[in-house]
Amino acid sequence: MASRSLGGLSGIRGAGGGGGGKKSLSARNAAVERRNLITVCRFSVKTLIDRSCFETIDDSSPEFNNFAAILEQILSHRLKGQVTWFGYESPRSFWDYIRVACRKVSQNCICSIENMENVSSSRAKGRAWIRVALMEKHLSEYISTALRDFKTTRRFYEDGAIVLGEEANMLAGMLLGLNAIDFSFCLKGEGLDGNFPAVIDYTPYLKFTQSSDSISSDEEELRTLGSSGSESSTPENVGPPFITDDNSWFNKCKRVKQKYQLTLEQKGYLEELLRLRENQLSESVSQNKILLQRIEDSDLAHKLEKEQLEYIIVELQDQLKSYQSLDQLSAEVSLSQTSLDPCQSQDGDKQDSLHLICEGKEDTPSLLGLCGSLTSVASYKSLTSLKSNDYLASPTTEMTSPGLTPS
């Protein structure tokens, strides 16, 4: 009984350990799958950018076809199926998610793709959307907007999907570099056929670099391994083979020549770029000097204008003071005239006031002008006319009357 119980416990533990091992294995496989897709997508974006420097990217470009297949695989990674009325789960395309999550993008192409006549299936509409978004240079904006709608993303994808992990932010950043490429696609070609799934070609991104310490090439190593496995091989033939194939040397020379030409092209590009930057720098320096000279001229003009305004203000203040003193003198003269006896001679009073005004404000030009106007010939004649006026009463006429004069 004890042995049976121990055996049962060990079986249970083994089953539990097997379940934990399966979970860890599935998590590891999912992580590797996500990492592979993101890495291949980064490589495909780089190859697209490099190819766009030499030719226009269209549907016939293998780099674009591979990139479209990779992006379709990423957006379809762990995509939930659509549950039908009878409870069955039917597969769906990533276009169902894009159509809902990208509605918030301003001036989006969702409605135009929905109304396309030659595109009927959901997968074909998704492929048409990739091409239109690339031509509009808004693919990164579409993906970023869709990933920000986390509620919709959770509704369409299962746990462990790329769009739900940390790789989603890397994806949006990688696609941003495609905005610098001018794409040209035909939306009626065979690339929109949704009957066949997209297949990724990994061979352009798999590269084995032979070590420099290796004496023989790959062909020689394979030939050596094949000869050593045959019965006719002898111990004398065993050893590092000497390269005698002229074709291998020719290929190596060709590769070195290609690298040299590529280096020369990069050198010419960098020199041209440096020349352009130097010209831009010299232009900016000259513009900076011109602006500094303009600033100095404007500062000098402002200083001169400020000094002129200060001088005008001082002159106006002096004139205001002279006007105030003139008003005070005129007021004093009027008061002195009213205080005098009207029977006195007006000639002496006006001359006294005239002498007072001239003596009190000799330095003021306005008062000198005023004194000059009072001492003019016309004013002197008016004073003499007033003095000799018959209507002015004199003390002798007041003392005597016509009736008392002696005959």
The model's pLDDT over 119-148, given as tens digits with 9 standing for 90+, comes to 888 899 999 999 999 999 999 999 999 999
DSSP assignment, residue 163?
A: G
Alpha carbons 391 and 40: distance in angstroms, whole number: 127
Contact 377, 364 (CB under 8 A): no
Is 43's pLDDT higher than 50? Answer: yes
Ordered by start, the domain boundaries in the chain are 28-192, 254-330
User: What's residue 144's pLDDT?
Assistant: 93
Contacts with 310 (C-beta within 8 Å, 6 or more apart), sequence order: none
Contact 147, 163 (CB under 8 A): yes
Contact 205, 50 (CB under 8 A): no
CA 390 vs CA 48, 109, 343, 386, 393: distances in Å: 122, 113, 15, 9, 8
Average confidence (pLDDT) over 8-20: 47
CATH topology of domain 28-192: Methane Monooxygenase Hydroxylase; Chain G, domain 1 (1.20.58)
Is 336's pLDDT higher than 50? Answer: yes
What pTM did the predictor assign?
Answer: 0.50
User: What's residue 329's pLDDT?
Assistant: 85
- Which runs of consecutive H residues, i.e. helices, occur in 76-137? 94-101, 110-114, 122-136
Closest by Cα among 180, 244, 198, 208 to 77: 198
Local confidence band at 7 (pLDDT 50, 70, 90 cut-offs): very low
List pLDDT tens digits, range 226-247.
554 444 444 444 344 444 455 6
Contact 109, 132 (CB under 8 A): yes
Local confidence band at 68 (pLDDT 50, 70, 90 cut-offs): very high
User: What's residue 189's pLDDT?
Assistant: 66
Is 381's pLDDT higher than 60? Answer: no
SS3 363: coil
Is 4's pLDDT higher than 80? Answer: no
Kind and range of the H or E element at 179?
A: none
Residue type, 321: K
